[in-house]
């Protein structure tokens, strides 16, 4: 490595950091929106005491009594519910960290740096702590996600983030990260998304990036590769990326940039021959290889870039900017996710200026993504998982029968209030012209302010609303018409193969995958029909029909029939289903089996259910639990974790119980394990990461260890009675 220049930027060494006083952080929630505040004075702290919910997520000791272990499943479930009461926020939802991917926080830092927006001091300190905490302890550097091996993408981007945050390049973690980065070939070997962020930061060159031209948006919409046909996340990332590429925008050179140019590469920055770096992607990063046709397309696009018409570029930029403005208005500047948000922040700053209302809104609403975790502050992968977590929790407590106990009235009433508030009640300001899916009546994953329809979130929101409103003491607060609106949304989303996608129906051909430019993610170009989304929709329609047998009866029956066919067609020869959003065969198996039982298929009468159960049984571990690694999602083959996991054990036993699996013993052993892992205060401890996306990136769902354990315990007691197990 070339010698480091003298550091002129404000360098801080982390172990000399004063750190923040964790007892001063408070979470404030309204309408699902989560904001962490740091109270600077004792007086403020006195007026606004810290809650157990704050303390739980900060990793501070809780002020809760221990009690002897529960001996039967319902007592264990109640003990879990009692613990969760402390985690319910004032607006009725269950908050939580929604992190794990390690390419999101750097985007935020770069957006703040480029727009010269100061990162609030307390965030800065805690973001440094977070990144130091999640650095790879063995090899140094960072991976694509917190459980992954170091990659160039993770290491280069988080290294830059830490330098922006003010950490010295001499800090031991930085020295090790640099060594790791250089071992992998340096930042030239970053995948395309890494190359893009580094280019914006002006520590990489546009010459070294494959083109992302905004002109694509001017093609006729009828063309199969028009961007409006892409999966919504891909579309909404390549939209602002196209804008910034089209403008070739880069941060003006600063001292920090000059230093980074020396730190990130094996060779001197000035000597890098950029065009050769375009397709250079380190082995550690490469999950899927470019298709030959993509490389050919890039060659053409490279030529076009050399000779393109300036007026066409202007026209394309205008079109793209219009769409960016529509997304701003539709989402109140929250945007679909943090990746497009960071890019929008830069674009709005460039176009509207730092004093504009829109830019100020962009900055203000970054709060919604910032989560103060026990490891420090992190940028969540969405603005939370509010609806998703609350819907599961509510259904779990309802199924256990414990919702009818007086002591649980309040928690259920507040959950209903939240689910009622969270439903999306109207169309977006810009609807079809912004290529949005029908959303009136939908439930989102996080908040109605972000406001994107998600099929299975609508399904879970609907189920939760229906089961909460059927309790003896709850009001029918959601009018029938809104329940029908939710069903209308679901019915509008079915694909021709019978299945359901995540945010939209499938709009483009699978062949588009040929031009997937992101080497780190697979199957991201179009919406697919997913097992989990399809099964959740089936479950909710079955549930709905029992209460409203006369609403769109024939259509619902037809949808049910075709979705059952789809689910069965996705079962593998060994009886398993592959999961796309949770880990992996266990998660999808639970949804698939549960949903088939909702149309009366059970172990006794359905070969699909039988094979699904037999697969799960074959994976039970010696201690009675189940444990599956995120590696299953990467490789497509079941991979065990070293130890069993309470979340996966819950999923497996939930499926077996729904199926009426004839042998109680394996189920009882699973339940026993869940009970043994419960702590004296009622909680379960965090184990391995639970979720996944795009096959290769793991993501945390920390509330699963509460909702699914309670659900499994409750279902067990309902089916087999509540005799002592421990």
- What residues make contact with ligand LAN under the rule CB under 6 A? 233, 237, 337, 339, 381-382, 388, 445, 454, 456-457, 502, 521, 532-533, 581, 693-694, 699
d(CA 156, CA 168): 15
DSSP for 245-284, written as a single string? HHHT--PPP-HHHHHHHHHS-SS-GGG--GGGGTT---TT
Q: Are 327 and 344 in contact (CB under 8 A)?
A: yes
Name the residue nearer to ligand LAN (CB basis): 333 or 382. Answer: 382
Name the residue nearer to ligand LAN (CB basis): 333 or 700. Answer: 700
- Give the single-character DSSP code of 551: S
Exposed / middle / buried, residue 8 (Cβ in 10 Å: 0-12, 13-18, 19+): exposed
Name the residue nearer to ligand LAN (CB basis): 263 or 456. Answer: 456
SS3 3: coil
Minimum distance from CB of 607 to ligand LAN (Å)? 27
Minimum distance from CB of 120 to ligand LAN (Å)? 23
Name the residue nearer to ligand LAN (CB basis): 212 or 257. Answer: 212
Exposed / middle / buried, residue 203 (Cβ in 10 Å: 0-12, 13-18, 19+): buried
Name the residue nearer to ligand LAN (CB basis): 96 or 682. Answer: 96
Residue 34: beta bridge partners? 29
- Of 445, 397, 456, 447, give the one whose Cα is nearest residue 421: 447
Name the residue nearer to ligand LAN (CB basis): 83 or 388. Answer: 388
Residues 6+ apart with CB under 8 A from 223: none
Token representation of residue 544: 């709905």
Cα three-residue angle 482-544-480, rounded to 5 degrees: 25
Q: Are 609 and 597 in contact (CB under 8 A)?
A: yes
- Of 256, 290, 307, 349, give the one whose Cα is nearest residue 5: 256
Name the residue nearer to ligand LAN (CB basis): 630 or 693. Answer: 693
Q: End-to-end CA distance of the chain: give it in Å, rounded.
A: 60
Name the residue nearer to ligand LAN (CB basis): 136 or 690. Answer: 690
Minimum distance from CB of 56 to ligand LAN (Å)? 22
CA distances from 593 to 380, 455, 539, 587, 636 (A): 31, 19, 10, 10, 19
Minimum distance from CB of 717 to ligand LAN (Å)? 27
The Cβ of residue 497 has, within 10 Å, a number of other Cβ atoms equal to 16
Minimum distance from CB of 414 to ligand LAN (Å)? 22
Name the residue nearer to ligand LAN (CB basis): 580 or 629. Answer: 580
- What residue has token string 């050769």? 276
Torsion of CA 517, 520, 524, 525, to 10 degrees: 10
Shortest Cβ contact with ligand LAN: which residue?
693
**Catalytic choice (383, 420, 421, 456):** 456
- What residue has token string 């005799």? 723
Minimum distance from CB of 234 to ligand LAN (Å)? 7
Q: Tell how many helices (H) and how many strands (E) occur in the chain.
A: 26, 8
SS3 376: strand
Name the residue nearer to ligand LAN (CB basis): 25 or 500. Answer: 500
Minimum distance from CB of 237 to ligand LAN (Å)? 5
**594 catalytic residue (yes or no):** no
d(CA 7, CA 29): 41
Minimum distance from CB of 30 to ligand LAN (Å)? 22
Token representation of residue 208: 């070294």
Name the residue nearer to ligand LAN (CB basis): 233 or 278. Answer: 233
Q: Are 98 and 380 in contact (CB under 8 A)?
A: yes
Minimum distance from CB of 691 to ligand LAN (Å)? 7
Residues 6+ apart with CB under 8 A from 367: 35, 36
Minimum distance from CB of 339 to ligand LAN (Å)? 4
Token representation of residue 476: 């029918």
Q: Are 629 and 583 in contact (CB under 8 A)?
A: yes
Torsion of CA 563, 564, 569, 574, to 10 degrees: 140
Residue 41: beta bridge partners? none
- Give the single-character DSSP code of 104: S
Token representation of residue 194: 């890494």
Q: Which are the catalytic amino acids?
A: 456
């Amino acid at each position: 490595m070339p010698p480091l220049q003298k550091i002129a930027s404000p360098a801080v060494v982390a172990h000399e950091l004063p750190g923040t006083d964790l007892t001063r952080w408070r979470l404030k929630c309204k309408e699902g929106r989560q904001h962490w505040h740091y109270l600077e004075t004792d007086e403020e702290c006195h007026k606004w005491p810290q809650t157990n919910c704050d303390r739980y997520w900060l990793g501070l000791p809780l002020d809760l009594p221990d009690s002897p272990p529960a001996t039967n499943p319902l007592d264990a479930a109640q003990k879990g519910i009692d613990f969760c009461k402390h985690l319910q926020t004032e607006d009725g939802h269950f908050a939580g960290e929604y992190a794990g991917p390690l390419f999101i926080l750097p985007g935020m830092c770069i957006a703040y740096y480029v727009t010269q927006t100061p990162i609030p001091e307390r965030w800065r300190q805690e973001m440094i702590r977070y990144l130091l905490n999640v650095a790879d302890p063995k090899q140094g550097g960072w991976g694509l996600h917190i459980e992954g091996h170091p990659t160039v993408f993770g290491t280069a981007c988080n290294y830059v983030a830490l330098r922006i945050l003010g950490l010295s390049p001499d800090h031991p973690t930085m020295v090790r990260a640099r060594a790791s980065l250089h071992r992998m070939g340096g930042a030239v070997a970053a995948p395309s998304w890494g190359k893009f962020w580094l280019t914006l930061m002006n520590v990489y060159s546009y010459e070294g990036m494959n083109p992302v031209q905004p002109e694509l948006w001017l093609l006729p919409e009828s063309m199969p590769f028009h961007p409006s046909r892409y999966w919504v996340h891909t579309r909404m990332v390549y939209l602002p990326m196209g804008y910034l590429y089209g403008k070739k925008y880069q941060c003006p050179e600063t001292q920090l940039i000059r230093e980074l140019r020396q730190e990130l590469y094996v060779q001197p920055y000035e000597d890098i021959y950029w065009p050769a770096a375009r397709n250079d992607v380190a082995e550690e990063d490469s999950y899927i290889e470019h298709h030959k046709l993509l490389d050919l397309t890039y060659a053409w696009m490279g030529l076009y870039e050399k000779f393109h018409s300036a007026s066409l570029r202007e026209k394309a930029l205008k079109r793209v900017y219009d769409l960016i403005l529509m997304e701003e208005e539709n989402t109140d500047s929250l945007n679909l996710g943090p990746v497009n948000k960071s890019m929008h922040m830069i674009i709005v700053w460039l176009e509207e200026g730092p004093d504009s209302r829109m830019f100020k809104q962009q900055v203000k609403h970054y709060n919604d993504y910032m989560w103060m975790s026990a490891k420090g502050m992190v940028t969540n992968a969405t603005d939370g998982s509010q609806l998703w977590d609350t819907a599961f929790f509510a259904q779990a407590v309802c199924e256990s029968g414990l919702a009818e106990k007086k002591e649980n009235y309040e928690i259920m009433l507040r959950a209903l209030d939240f689910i009622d508030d969270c439903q999306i009640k109207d169309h977006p300001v810009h609807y079809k012209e912004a290529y949005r899916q029908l959303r009136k009546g939908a439930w989102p994953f996080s908040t109605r302010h972000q406001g994107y329809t998600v099929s299975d979130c609508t399904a879970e929101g609907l189920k939760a609303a229906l089961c909460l409103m059927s309790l003896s003491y709850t009001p029918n607060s959601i009018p029938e018409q809104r329940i029908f609106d939710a069903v209308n949304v679901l019915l509008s989303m079915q694909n021709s193969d019978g299945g359901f996608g995540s945010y939209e129906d499938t709009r483009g051909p699978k062949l588009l995958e040929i031009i997937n430019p992101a080497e780190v993610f697979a199957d991201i170009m179009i919406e697919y029909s997913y097992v989990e989304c399809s099964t959740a929709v089936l479950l909710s329609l079955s549930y709905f029909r029992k209460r409203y047998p006369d609403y769109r009866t024939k259509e619902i029956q037809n949808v049910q029939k075709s979705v059952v066919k789809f689910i069965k067609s996705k079962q593998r020869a060994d009886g398993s289903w592959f999961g796309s959003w949770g880990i992996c065969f266990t998660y999808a198996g639970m949804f698939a089996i549960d949903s088939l039982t909702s149309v009366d298929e059970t172990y006794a009468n359905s070969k699909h259910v039988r094979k699904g159960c037999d697969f799960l049984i074959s994976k039970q571990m010696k201690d009675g639990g189940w444990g599956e690694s995120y590696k299953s999602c990467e490789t497509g083959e079941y991979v065990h974790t070293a130890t069993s996991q309470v979340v996966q054990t819950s999923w497996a036993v939930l499926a077996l119980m729904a199926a009426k699996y004839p042998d109680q013993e394996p189920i009882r052993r699973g339940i026993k394990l869940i009970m043994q892992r419960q702590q004296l205060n009622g909680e379960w401890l965090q184990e391995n990461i639970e979720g996944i996306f795009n096959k290769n990136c793991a993501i945390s769902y920390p509330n699963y260890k509460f909702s699914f354990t309670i659900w499994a315990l409750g279902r067990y007691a309902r089916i087999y009675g509540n005799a002592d197990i421990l």
